[in-house]
Structure 1
Amino acid sequence: MAAISMRNIVKRYDDGYQAVRDVSLDIADGEFVILVGPSGCGKSTLLRMIVGLEDITSGEMVIGEQRVNDKAPRDRNLSMVFQNYALYPHLTVFENIAFPLRLKKVRDDEVKAKVTEVAAVLELTENLDRKPANLSGGQRQRVAMGRAIVRDADAFLFDEPLSNLDAKLRGQMRTEIARLQRRLGTTTVYVTHDQTEAMTLGDRIAVLRKGELQQVGTAHQLYEEPVNLFVAGFIGSPPMNFVPGRISGGRVETPLGTMRVTSDRVRRVGDRDPVLLGLRPEFFADATLLAPFERGRGFNFTAHVDVTEWLGSQLYAYVPYEAPREITERLRTLQRELDSEQMRTQLVIALSLDSRIRSDSEASLWLDPDRMHVFDPATGANLTYDPDRAFD
């Protein structure tokens, strides 16, 4: 195993396009780090530079205290699992897993012992004599993982390994990968565009945007303390609501109504016009289900619910609101950058399953203003960001 240190990494192609911009990131020995972001953000390019499949324009790549910029992939002792499995169709599962050992001319008895051990870990023992064409997608992915594990590499690199699987199988494989990494304790770098994978798998998450590193932290840190609009919009499903507002004289004016500034984090922002308020769906509630003392410590308002969605274990209400043109354009730009769910001038509110709020109706709603974030619409910076906030 080995730590990985990226110091001011830049990747610029011959046509001048800069795919990675001055990225510095330290990954500890045995740590599981996720590189996440929308398509084209540079995450796969960065992974390929770690393994040596892409040249580094400038900066230093250090693996296990050795500078590896000029080392060939075969000399870095890294294992990579690709999106398309990259299995040899004419070889059995046994020989696909054993392939790296065959290249190193490992003795047959040692090959058999190592492949048998890895196959048992990945629950592939009964499939060792089968060909890849006769396996399910999940089994093929486990074979690809087995081929990576059997090498005793210093680090595992995963390049969107679950994107070809259906939703149910992705959930199962996420659990298997997390359990396997904890068991082996091998340094792991995992690339994905799926924020659900990012939130559930890694020790830390590194969010990339247009080749630049935006924020690094635990899933909890990125969810509760996003450094800017981009991270706030990318992490979380449904995404954070962004509502235009104005802070003046200890009050916050919004399309939902005017509320008093109660939290110190918002007070520190001071008077500002305009701002974007960041409100997660779970910051809201059906006011009719709350006790009087709970309603009294929040902001109560009445709004027209356009649509409700019942998903069995979840209930969402959609509340449209009016916004200035510049705010609407800012949200559309953010939507394009995120390459994800559409951000309209509407609230997405998470409701208790006991709620009787229905589509096309007036509803009494409640908001916890102490939890809201305040963003600068021009720069995207989170004006209430607290880097020293403690998390359990």
Structure 2
Amino acid sequence: MASITLQNIVKEYDDGFPAVNDVSIDIEDGEFVILVGPSGCGKSTLLRMIVGLEDITSGDLLIGGDRVNDKPPRERNLAMVFQNYALYPHLSVFENIAFPMRLAKGKFTQEQVKEKVERAAGMLELTEHLQRKPANLSGGQRQRVAMGRAIVRDANAFLFDEPLSNLDAKLRGQMRAEISQLQRSLNTTSVYVTHDQTEAMTLGDRVAVLKKGVLQQIASPRELYEQPANLFVAGFIGSPSMNFLPGTVSEGSTGSTVLSTPLGDIELPEQVAAAGREKEIVLAGIRPEFFEEASQVEESRRGRGSVFSAELSHVEWLGNEQYGYVRYQNDPRVADALANLAADMDADELRTQLVVALDAMSRIRGGDTAELWVDTRRIHLFDPATGENLTRDAEAGAELTRLAAEDRRRDRERAAAHAD
């Protein structure tokens, strides 16, 4: 195992385009870091520079404290798991897993090869399939074979390049859990590339969000979710996505401070209002789960939020949850900001509709006017011109990441104890 340090890493192609632009990340020994972002954001290029398949234009890459910019891939002792598995169709599962050891001629005895392959196969539930060929395996089993080949290498780190993108949704969920448990039990430094933010949020100790080759924020999944640094991170992380409602902070008729929006006035607590008071217009970032039907909010909680009326265009019932949709007229002053955000996120457009979470048992339907309560303490205000989160509490965010690191450390200690 080893730490991986990226210091001001830049990758420029011949036309001068910076696919990766001044990225600095410190990955601790044993840490699981996810690189996430839309297509073309530079995440796979960054991974390929770490493994040595792409040259570094400028900056320093250190593995275990040693600068490796000029070292070929074979001297970096990194194990890569590719999207297409890269298995040899003519070799058995046993020989596919053993292949890295066969390449190191004379380093391993036949008994050592057998022992390491069988140990990896046992961890990955492949023992019964060792004599089969890849063509006779399911997609999930092939993925496990590719991971087994990485395990037997005793590599300094595992690098995963969108390893689950070829699997169906159900199998992806199963494999996510297996990769997470395996990484914790092995405690091997891991870097994982994905465009799927669900994978990023469920797998990583920390997640690095990239946009157009630039690192936007690196933090624990919870910090990204609760304290996003900017409009892009807020919109990219979370499903359904955060709502962005245009509004102006002003004094209400009752002396309270309100956010005047296309859906009416929403009263704001002073600490939120203060951040947007000097701005001509802001985008209020409100996650769907910040809403509830007003009739279901206990009296003791009602004062922590604001109530407004809205007509729902339609409702989606998903069994354990339900979402209502509220259309509104967008403010032309933020149209460009939202169009640019949609382009950055690889989306066709950001619709001018509010998505609100409803109780699964709610009987509200499309066409109904509902009284909705919103938890105003959790609203973020963004500057549409710069994308900056005006209400971000950096201290609270750092504490969330510190607590997450503490929790994962305990997880790894438990996993190590069970392995013994």
- State if a TM-score over 0.5 links the two structures: yes
Question: Which residue in the other structure is 1:190 paired with?
Answer: 192
Q: Match of 1:201?
A: 203
Q: Show CA shifts across 1:223-257 (max 9, x none).
A: 00000000000000000000000012433211121
Question: Mapping of 1:109-258 within 5 angstroms?
Answer: 109-249=111-251, 250-258=257-265
2:79 match: 79
User: What secondary structure sits across from 2:394 in the alignment?
Assistant: coil
Query: What is the SS of the residue equivalent to 2:280?
Result: strand
Which 10-residue stretch deviates more, 144-153 or 349-358?
Answer: 349-358
Shift in CA distance, 29/341, structure 1 to aligned 2, threshold 3 Å: farther
2:411 match: none
Counterparts of 1:19 and 1:211, CA distance in 2: 5
Q: How does 1:1-392 map to 2 (within 5 A)?
A: 1-105=1-105, 106-249=108-251, 250-340=257-347, 342-389=349-396, 390-391=399-400, 392=403
Q: TM-score, normalised by structure 1?
A: 0.98
* TM-score when normalising by structure 2: 0.91
> Aligned AA for 1:81?
V
**Residues of 1 paired with 2:349 and 2:113: CA distance?**
51
Shift of 1:273: 1.4
Q: Distance in 1 between matches of 2:335 and 2:369?
A: 24
Do the aligned residues in 1 keep the contact of 2:267 with 2:305 (CA within 8 Å)?
no
Instruction: Answer yes or no: is the 8 Å Cα contact 2:306–2:374 preserved in 1.
Output: yes
CA contact (8 A) 1:376 1:382 kept: yes
Amino acid at match of 1:257: G
Amino acid at match of 2:102: R
Q: Is the 8 A contact 1:314 1:352 kept in 2?
A: yes
How many Å separate the matches in 1 of 2:270 and 2:192? Answer: 37
Identity, % of aligned pairs? 64
Cα offset, 1:202, TM superposition:
0.6
1:304/1:319 contact within 8 Å kept: yes
Number of aligned residues: 392
Q: Is the contact between residue 34 and residue 192 of structure 2 (CA under 8 Å) also seen in structure 1?
A: yes
> Bigger CA drift: 307-316 or 263-272?
263-272
Q: Secondary structure at the match of 2:281?
A: strand
SS of residue paired to 1:86? coil
Name stretches of at least 5 consecutive residues in structure 1 with no aligned partner.
none
Deviations 1:106-133 (A, max 9, x none): 2111101100100000000000000000
CA contact 1:30–1:185 (8 Å) conserved in 2? yes
Change (3 A) 1:340 1:148: farther
Measured after TM superposition, the shift of residue 101 of structure 1 is: 0.2
Residues of 1 paired with 2:360 and 2:80: CA distance?
44
SS of the residue 2:158 aligns to: strand
1:143 is paired with a residue of what secondary structure? helix
- Measure how far apart 1:342 and its partner are: 4.7
Q: Aligned with 2:2: secondary structure?
A: coil
Name the SS for the 2:389 alignment partner: coil
Q: Which runs of 5+ in 2 are unaligned?
A: 252-256, 404-420
Distance 2:349 2:94 in 1: 45
CA RMSD of aligned residues (A): 1.2
Alpha-carbon distance in structure 2 between the residues aligned to 1:332 and 1:272: 20
